[in-house]
Chains A and B, each alone.
Chain A
């Protein structure tokens, strides 16, 4: 077994290169100059190989201030030395054990991240949203409102977006009916912020809620609804979003996801796709939860005002189309219509006790967009 040979030594204090004699002791390697003086004594436990492209063994001392280096060209000596050091890997690159550790810790970190995103972010948003001042939400709503109006106005073909603003007797009656309906619901809901509801000229069978208590009911919904309870059911659902401050919550959730995924993971090649995919999947999940909660709120609200809670389920089933079937379940932002109807049926007891609007009021409301 080779225990001695020659090498090239750099002492780390000057750039001079020296030819030295190398000897492998019991627990350390000794480097001696031409005059026999010991230039360095490195314990085997502290020796680290340094990256080399050419297969020559270069070693240094771990945690040393000066970057002293020893170069050994004699392969037998190099092999003997490596047999005694901590690492056998002479390439100086990341070794297999370190790679495995990095992968393991990374997977743990990612699992924590994903767990945080699935549970932590909505939890935090839930806790924080009710404490945000109403004024803040109103400003947010105002900002979004301008953009929403722009989009909605594009399809009104020149007529005013808002319905029921005119002065003819029928329009006044329609407006009164709408106000009566809203008032009944609002009184029973006990909301933290005031509602501002409008009927707008749009053929979609839908209603939307913006932060700040703004609810837009689309004309198409009034046309498709068979009874006032169905419209009231949808309004109850939207009021549920207001009560739960869902608009603010979704902004907080988006920010939280951006932070978690965007900052920590978006930085590497291809990371953008992961971030977008994660955010889409998670945001639609949050949305489904919020929609189910709004359904429940709406059903209970209908109970309180004496309307038919099942009506919301009925209209959902009637208007749900085939389009949803092609989208994978985890990308839907609402639960499937049948699921929603079933959930509502579980809460609701069927018999209505009061009519919310008289038949003439209902007829007037349905026609709110036909003039002015």
Chain B
């Protein structure tokens, strides 16, 4: 099917005349074809393997161009104007900062035992703060490379200020075991949106932390509650002196034997295990639910001038995406193992033919060692790239599409007569985010 056929078949039509526009909310549309994205990602994975990852800057740029261009408001798509070279230069600049830090960390780890352990904690905090700084700058990069109706977005504010703000919010979040997170998120989103502009039109964020808390606290209760229940049961029922004596025996098997007779303790340990396992299961199973709740809350808070966003996102769409991902990964793994087995059989057969059966090829260890090692590394690389590609298409692109298609914009007339702003943007990519691997699209 050529592009021309596709155009005729496409549902897109020239945007409506302004005078005919009704005042009812406008729904965003996602018009990209998943087949095109699969092709893009598979080709990208192959080229990443060949170039040992150097191609990733071109792939990320293409991905963003595709996703932005597939997102339409009233028939007019977004546009991504970033280039791969910007990302590459940003990455090299980030290396210039990170290399000395890593070198120092390496030297420190050799020299002084206690300091190196402390420096591990310090390094973790510094890098995490750095991560927030990088996230803010990456957002600015993506905004300034986004064009809509010929005008660019831009972002003011200070990345360092944002990083400090985010780190300060960690304190109450950690103290309350995560309960403060909704207010932290709301505060940070308000900061980001206050500094977000479309041309000369400013943004804001209208969703409160309380609403996110109310919608999501049941998840927190299930996860933390089951863990707490297990811990409480263990604390009450376990005979701690007996456990202390058993541990002092120094041998795991003997310790277990010593405790076997103590029924309350055994039950306490089982309850602890049950608590931990159920908490972990809840966390895993409810993660898509939390993502859906947070996304819907976030979309509903976005404001740009007089335009407001609402969302009717359904949680089940997230679950369908993840389940489809699991299915594809299982199928891919089966196919992958089958290919490896066939390849090994062929090689053994060839080897047998070449040596005319002089060597005993009855066991795998008779294959040339170098070949097996190389095959192992290549196979691992192929598998990892395959799973990652499936994730990008089946989960990330799908969830982008789901979010876009759930968004309703009211008051869209506010976007009609915006002026371009004079704000300039850095010519280099905000490569720090890439160097630290923050993982967003």
| Residues of A that sit less than 8 Å from B by CB | 8, 10-17, 50-56, 58, 66-69, 73, 75, 90, 92-94, 98-99, 102-103, 105-107, 109-110, 139-140, 143, 251, 255, 258-259, 263-265, 267-271, 273-274, 277, 326-331
Given A14-B151, A51-B79, A331-B373, CB of A268 within 8 Å of CB of B31: no
B interface, size bucket: 35 or more
Asked if A55 and B55 sit within 8 Å, CB to CB, the answer is no
| Residues of B that sit less than 8 Å from A by CB | 3-4, 6-7, 10, 12, 14-15, 18, 31-33, 36, 40, 47-56, 58, 61-62, 65-66, 68-70, 72, 76-77, 79-81, 84, 91, 95, 98-99, 102-103, 106, 110-111, 113, 147-152, 198-199, 365, 368-370, 372-373, 377, 380-381, 384-385, 388, 415-420, 434-435, 437
25 A/B residue pairs, CB under 8 Å, sorted by A: A10-B151, A51-B69, A52-B77, A53-B32, A53-B69, A53-B77, A54-B77, A55-B10, A66-B150, A67-B151, A69-B150, A90-B3, A93-B65, A99-B55, A106-B54, A143-B110, A258-B102, A268-B48, A268-B56, A269-B48, A269-B388, A326-B369, A327-B369, A328-B372, A328-B373
**Distance of B57 from chain A, by nearest CB (Å):** 9
A8 to B7: give the CA distance in the assembly, Å.
17
**Distance of B339 from chain A, by nearest CB (Å):** 17
Question: Chain A contacts of B53 at CB under 8 A?
Answer: 265, 267-269, 271
A109 to B99: give the CA distance in the assembly, Å.
19
Asked if A271 and B52 sit within 8 Å, CB to CB, the answer is yes
In the complex formed, the residue of A with least CB distance to B88 is: A102
Asked if A69 and B147 sit within 8 Å, CB to CB, the answer is yes
Asked if A263 and B77 sit within 8 Å, CB to CB, the answer is no
Asked if A56 and B7 sit within 8 Å, CB to CB, the answer is yes
A259 to B102: give the CA distance in the assembly, Å.
9
A110 to B368: give the CA distance in the assembly, Å.
26
A8 to B13: give the CA distance in the assembly, Å.
12
Question: Chain A contacts of B68 at CB under 8 A?
Answer: 51
Question: Chain B contacts of A67 at CB under 8 A?
Answer: 79, 81, 147, 150-152
Interchain residue pairs A-B with the least CB separation, the first 8: A10-B150, A328-B369, A268-B53, A106-B51, A55-B7, A270-B384, A51-B65, A106-B54
Given A14-B418, A50-B79, CB of A103 within 8 Å of CB of B380: no
Question: Chain A contacts of B377 at CB under 8 A?
Answer: 273-274, 277
| Majority DSSP secondary structure for residues of B touching A | helix
**Distance of A150 from chain B, by nearest CB (Å):** 13
Asked if B110 and A251 sit within 8 Å, CB to CB, the answer is yes
Asked if B56 and A103 sit within 8 Å, CB to CB, the answer is no
Asked if B32 and A15 sit within 8 Å, CB to CB, the answer is no
Question: Chain B contacts of A140 at CB under 8 A?
Answer: 110-111
In the complex formed, the residue of A with least CB distance to B380 is: A273
Question: Chain A contacts of B381 at CB under 8 A?
Answer: 270, 273-274
Residue of A15, A268, A270, A329 near B418 (CB, 8 A) is A15
A236 to B357: give the CA distance in the assembly, Å.
46
Asked if B420 and A12 sit within 8 Å, CB to CB, the answer is yes
* Chain A CB within 10 Å, residue with most, of B61, B79, B103, B152: B79
Asked if B51 and A11 sit within 8 Å, CB to CB, the answer is no
In the complex formed, the residue of A with least CB distance to B91 is: A267
**Distance of A214 from chain B, by nearest CB (Å):** 16
**Distance of B76 from chain A, by nearest CB (Å):** 7
Question: Chain A contacts of B33 at CB under 8 A?
Answer: 53
Asked if A329 and B80 sit within 8 Å, CB to CB, the answer is no
A73 to B84: give the CA distance in the assembly, Å.
28
Question: Chain B contacts of A329 at CB under 8 A?
Answer: 369-370
In the complex formed, the residue of A with least CB distance to B107 is: A255
A73 to B75: give the CA distance in the assembly, Å.
12
Question: Chain A contacts of B151 at CB under 8 A?
Answer: 10, 12, 14-15, 67
* Chain A CB within 10 Å, residue with most, of B7, B52, B103, B381: B52
Asked if B99 and A15 sit within 8 Å, CB to CB, the answer is no
Question: Chain B contacts of A106 at CB under 8 A?
Answer: 50-52, 54-55
A238 to B143: give the CA distance in the assembly, Å.
61
Asked if B369 and A55 sit within 8 Å, CB to CB, the answer is no
